[in-house]
Amino acid sequence: MRQTWRWFGPKDLVSVDDMMQAGVEGVVSALHHVPTGAVWTREEIARRQSQLAQMKDGAPSGLRWEVVESLPVSEDIKKQKGDWRAHLANYKTSLHALREAGIEVICYNFMPVLDWTRTDLAWRRPNGATCMRFDLVDFAAFDIHILARPGAAEDFPPDVVEDAGRRFARMDDETRATLARNVVFGLPGAAENFTLEDVRAHLSEYASISAEQLRTHLIDFLSEVAPLAQELGLRLCCHPDDPPFSLLGLPRVMSTEADYRTVMDAVDLSANGITLCSGSLGARPDNDLPGMMERLGERVHFLHLRNVHRESDTVMGSFYEAEHLGGGTDMVALIGAALKEEARRRKAGRADISIPMRPDHGQDILDDLNRKGQPGYPAIGRLKGLAELRGIMAALSHPVAGAGAEAPRS
C-alpha cells in the first residue's frame, strides 16, 4: 500500500517538510479554490504539483501528487438540472488535464448538498484529546427545532425526538448557534458562510429527487466519465456517504455494500471504482469492512483508514471518531484483506498493485490542541494514526507473520 497524506495546499498548517518527516510516500490534494463545475486547467494542476515538490530550503521533496481528492461533482450534475451538461463536459476536460499531469487516481462523492456531517468538531475525550462526533439527539434538535424542517420529526425514532425536544429547551442561544455552525460546517464550499436559509433552499431542490432517481443520476454520470477514464488509464473512486444514512430528508445512495455493488455492476469498468472509507462506512453496524475489502477489492482504488466508535446498534445512531486502532472496525483484518488484494493483483500482473491509503482524520492530541486547522486533519493525531497503520502493514507483510498462530513447539 502507498502511504499517502491529504494536503490542502500551501495554506495547510502541515508543511511539505512535515509530510516528509512523517514518512509520507505520496500526496492527496485538490484544487479547492476552483469553483465546483469549472475546469481544472493544466496550469493550476502544475502549480499544485510544484508546490509540493519543494522543501522549505528549496531541496526537492521527491513527493508527487498521486491522488485527487476530490474532483467534485456539481449539484447540477447530481440533480441533472441547470448547467449539468456543461459541468459534465468540464469534468471530462479536467480528466484529460489530470492524465497529462500524470495523476491517475481520482476520488469524488455523490452526496447531495452535504459532504460530511458532525454535531461536534472538538469533542473532549477523557485523556484531553478531542475528536469529531455525531450525536443523533443533537442532530435531531438541529433538524427539528433549529432548521425547523417540515416533517423532520418523522425521520427519527420517537425517543430521540423526545430527548431532542428536552435538550433543545435547555440549550442557550450560543449553544444552539454552535450546533448549527458545526452541522453546516460539513457543507462543501464556503461552509462558514452558509445560512439556514441557504440550507433550506438547497434541501428544497431535492424535494422531488428520490434515492432511485439520484442513483440513476450517478449511473448516468459514470456512463459518461468512466469510459473516458478507462481510455485514459485513470481510476475513479467514489467516496461513501458520511455518515452512511439519509440526513435532512436527502437521498443517499453510497452507504452500503449493496449500493456499491449496484453502481459497480451498472458501469462495469475497472475505471469505475471505490474509495473504501472505513470511518464513513463503519458508522453503520451492518457494514463489514474487511468483508467489503475482500469482496469489492478488485475495484478499490483508494483506502481511507479511520475508525469510529458506534454508540448504538441501530443503523442511524451516534458515533465518535475513535483512534485508528480503536472503534468498531477490525483494522488488522481490513489491512490484511487489502494486502491479500494486492497479492492477487501482483499475480494477475495488474499495473495498479499498490493501493494508495491514507490515515483519514485523526484526533487532536499534544500540540494539535494549540493550533486549529481543518477539523479532522491535525498533524500529530494523523501521524499517530499513520504510524500505527504502518506498523500493522509491516507486521502483516513480515515473513514471521502467522508464526504466532502455530502450535507452540515443545
> Footprint of Mn ion on this chain (CB under 5 A)?
277, 304, 360
Is 206 an active-site residue?
Answer: no
Residues 52-91 as x/- pattern, contact with ligand CS2 by CB under 6 A: -----------------xx---------------------
Is 361 an active-site residue?
Answer: yes
The site partner of 116 among ligand CS2, Mn ion, none (C-beta below 5 to 8 Å per kind) is ligand CS2
Please pick, among 217, 304, 309, 324, the residue that the annotation labels catalytic: 304
321 is a contact residue toward ligand CS2 (CB under 6 A) = no
Is 360 an active-site residue?
Answer: yes
CB of 165 to ligand CS2, least distance (A): 30
Is 398 an active-site residue?
Answer: no
For residue 193, give every residue at least 6 positions away whose Cβ sits within 8 Å of its Cβ, in sequence order, or none.
none
Is 217 an active-site residue?
Answer: no
Among the residue ranges 102-110, 208-216, 310-318, 340-348, the one whose residues contact ligand CS2 (CB under 6 A): 102-110
Applying CB under 6 A, among 12, 135, 242, 341 the residue interacting with ligand CS2 is: 242
Cβ nearer to ligand CS2, comparing 145 with 310: 310
109 is a contact residue toward ligand CS2 (CB under 6 A) = yes
Strand pairing report for 319-321 and 308-310: antiparallel
Is 87 an active-site residue?
Answer: no
CB of 207 to ligand CS2, least distance (A): 23
**Edge-to-edge strand list for the sheet holding 308-310:** 120-124, 130-134, 319-321, 308-310
Cβ nearer to ligand CS2, comparing 109 with 363: 109
CB of 308 to Mn ion, least distance (A): 11
Q: How many CA atoms lie within 13 A of 376 on its CB side?
A: 27
Applying CB under 6 A, among 18, 44, 83, 115 the residue interacting with ligand CS2 is: 115
CB of 364 to Mn ion, least distance (A): 18
Residues in the chain: 410
107 is a contact residue toward ligand CS2 (CB under 6 A) = yes
Please pick, among 277, 301, 309, 364, the residue that the annotation labels catalytic: 277
Please pick, among 87, 217, 239, 324, the residue that the annotation labels catalytic: 239
255 is a contact residue toward ligand CS2 (CB under 6 A) = no
The site partner of 70 among ligand CS2, Mn ion, none (C-beta below 5 to 8 Å per kind) is ligand CS2
Applying CB under 6 A, among 327, 362, 376, 381 the residue interacting with ligand CS2 is: 376
Applying CB under 6 A, among 7, 84, 91, 108 the residue interacting with ligand CS2 is: 108
SS (HEC) of 144-201: HHHCCCCCHHHHCCHHHHHHHHHHHHHCCHHHHHHHHHHHHHCCCCCHHHCCHHHHHH
Q: Name the residues annotated as catalytic.
A: 239, 277, 304, 360-361, 377
Q: Which residues bind ligand CS2 (CB under 6 A)?
A: 69-70, 107-109, 115-116, 239, 242, 277, 304, 360, 376
